[in-house]
Structure 1
Amino acid sequence: MLQKAAPARPDWVMRAQPIEGIERIEAWFQGKAYAMHRHDTYAIGRTLAGVQSFNYRRSRRDSLPGNTIVLHPDEAHDGQAGTGEGFRYRMIYVEPALFQDVLGGRTLPFLEGGVTTNPRIAAATETLLQRVGHTLEPLEQNDALAELAHALAAAAGMPRARGKGDYLAARRARDYLHANFTRVVTLEEVEIATGRDRWSLSHDFRTFYGTSPYRYFTMRRLDAVRRMLLSGISLASAAADAGFADQSHMTRHFLKTFGLTPGRWLQIVGNVPRD
């Protein structure tokens, strides 16, 4: 007796609310996904499962799980599953003007292949290619955009522009972030507090403090979490009081920074022998 074939999974697309010139989606398709089309934005994505195939610049490209897709603005492409299993991916669409603000008038970076395994580009897209349900803080998105623009420029062989920077603006930014880390800080606030535009300020901060504004901001939150945990405050309360969206948000940053979960860190600290 012949068995009936399993019904195909329905195609779906989830979208995040567009913010500051960036659209974020996650999607699943089985078979044909898109006919030939083009965007006036960069399309940068990550294949999560299956084989993501598309025609781009006169040849077929196949992206495997973990690969990063980088499609230049106004380049025609389509999309389909490379196997019968279908494919899942996340994608961001970035207005070229945002990258141009970072690069300061240099040529927009172009990667010929459309698919890359470049580790710096992969790392630079991690923040922006989180699940669409995750809300990015303004400073977080700004830092990620700046790093992605520089990663694309480096992969395209473009020399990085150097500037002296504005130390006083960087110090004002540091002081402002330090005083306000327990809440969401907007980019406009920091620009007003420092008298410097967001992209120049990002460069200044890295030049004089060796890290990005959002990374500094997050570290101050984590410092507060550790102090609160040692005083007996619960994980959930510490996360909220330090300005994190929730406990899992705090735990992800804690693990990424210290290599331990907050609970494991607290357990170890509590095991220090007494004289």
Structure 2
Amino acid sequence: MAEAKGGMKSDWLIASPPSRLERIEAHFQGHAYDMHRHDSFAIGLTLNGVQSFHYRRGYRHSLPGTVLVLHPDEPHDGHAGDARGFHYRMLYIEPALIQSALSGQPLPFVAGGLCREPRLASAVQALLATLDGALDPLEESDGIAELADALAANGDARRGSPKRVPDYVAAQRVRERLDAALADGVSLEELEALAGQPRWTLSRDFRALFGTSPYRYLTQRRLALARRQIAAGIGLAEAAHAAGFADQSHMTRAFGRTYGLSPARWRRLLGTR
């Protein structure tokens, strides 16, 4: 890792204790992440510096106090906008948790990826106030509800609303089956039968409600488990096996596509600060 002035490592990352929300704080001096996409919302605050990234055919620059709202399945990267580097906090929240407060409505979309609206900023700040310990369960639930309402209030209603109302009950059955299928997998035919829908209808409804396809959802749940294992000190090969990947190479490829860095670099960053 490069050294910053005063001997402090310029690139570092800390993660909060495991919970329904993944929360991190990080600093990067230059390039941080390659282009990648994940199935969660990535919502955070720039604390210092300029946080620059490519997103939805544009090049964005987040300044201190700006809220970043990156929608599931949208490719993006990350790097410092100038020589000072950038410091930020971010939470990764499954669309299913937002859905629990939206009662089956399509996911809200905040156009442009950046927002300075006070209600949304306050909701994000409340969930990212500290990473020292796990959030109280009631505090976390209240925070998720307020975040969902703030996202809906700031969402762009013009963005591709489905022509039919998605079948939330069917999609939720499929999501629960995928959550239980990390180790052994599941066939598309089984999911069709479970939903009572043809695969194309199931895929459209699932994407509208949870932000990604059933296949990518399963892959991302496996990666989230692998990342928790790695953060706990488990070896890469063992973490890959525990999360249901065929081998370490399979996990490494998926990890890079989803998080924009390798599992080995993720592990090094956690131990840098």
Q: TM-score w.r.t. structure 2 length?
A: 0.54
- Measured against aligned partners, the alpha-carbon deviations of 1:133-189 in whole angstroms (never above 9, x if no partner) come to 14310000000000000100011156xxxxxxxxxxxxxxxxxxxxxxxxxxxxxxx
Aligned counterpart, 1:70: 69
User: Is 1:130–2:129 an aligned residue pair?
Assistant: yes
The alignment partner of 1:127 has SS state of helix
Do the aligned partners of 1:50 and 1:65 also contact (CA within 8 Å) in 2? yes
SS in 1 for 2:45: strand
How far does the alpha carbon of each residue in 1:59-87 deviate from its partner, in whole angstroms, 9 at most, with x for none? Answer: 11000001000000010000000010000
The residue that corresponds to 1:148 in the other structure is 147
Q: Distance in 1 between matches of 2:15 and 2:112?
A: 26
Verify the 8 A CA contact 2:98 2:145 in the aligned structure 1: yes
What value does the CA root-mean-square deviation take over the aligned residues?
A: 1.6
Match of 2:96 in 1: 97
Does the 8 A contact of 2:19 with 2:134 survive in 1?
A: no
How far the C-alpha of 1:18 sits from its partner, in A, is: 2.3
* Aligned amino acid, residue 46 of structure 1: L
Work out whether residues 26 and 131 of structure 1, in 8 Å CA contact, stay in contact via their aligned partners in 2.
Answer: no
Q: SS state of the match for residue 153, structure 2?
A: helix
State the identity %.
56
C-alpha separation in 2, matches of 1:105 and 1:130:
29
> What 5-or-longer segments of structure 2 have no aligned partner?
158-273
The corresponding residue for 2:58 is: 59
Counterpart of 2:119 in structure 1 is: 120
Partners of 1:9 and 1:30 within 8 A in 2: no
Between 1 and 2, higher relative CO (CA 8 Å, sep ≥ 6) is seen in: 2
SS of 2:121's equivalent in the other structure is: helix
Task: Give, in whole Å, the separation in 2 of the partners of 1:108 and 1:51.
Answer: 28
Contact 2:50 2:81 in 1 (8 A): yes
Cα distance in 2 for partners of 1:34, 1:47 equals 16
The equivalences for 1:152-167 within 5 A come to 152-156=151-155
Equivalence for 1:245: none
Structure 1 residue 58 displacement after superposition: 0.9
Q: How far apart, in 1, do the equivalents of 2:51 and 2:130 lie?
A: 18
Q: Residue 131 of structure 1: CA displacement? A: 2.3
What's the counterpart of residue 10 of structure 2? 10
- Corresponding letter in the other structure for 1:137: D
Provide Cα deviations, 1:16-49, integer angstroms capped at 9, x if missing partner. Answer: 12212x1000000000000000111000000000
Structure 1 gap segments, 5+ residues each:
159-275
Deviation at 1:8, TM superposition (A): 7.8
Structure 2 letter corresponding to 1:146: A
How many Å apart are 1:127 and its aligned residue?
1.6
Matched-pair contact (CA < 8 Å) for 2:49–2:81: yes
Q: Does the aligned pair in 2 maintain the 1:127–1:144 contact within 8 Å?
A: yes
Shift of 1:121: 0.3
* CA deviation map 1:215-236 (0-9, x unaligned): xxxxxxxxxxxxxxxxxxxxxx
1:217-256 matches, cutoff 5 A: none
Indicate if the aligned counterparts of 1:37 and 1:78 stay in contact, CA closer than 8 A: yes
CA contact (8 A) 2:28 2:87 kept: yes
Structure-1-length-normalised TM-score: 0.54
CA distance in 1, matches of 2:128, 2:8: 27
In the TM superposition, structure 1's runs of 4+ consecutive aligned residues that sit over 4 Å from their partners are: 5-8
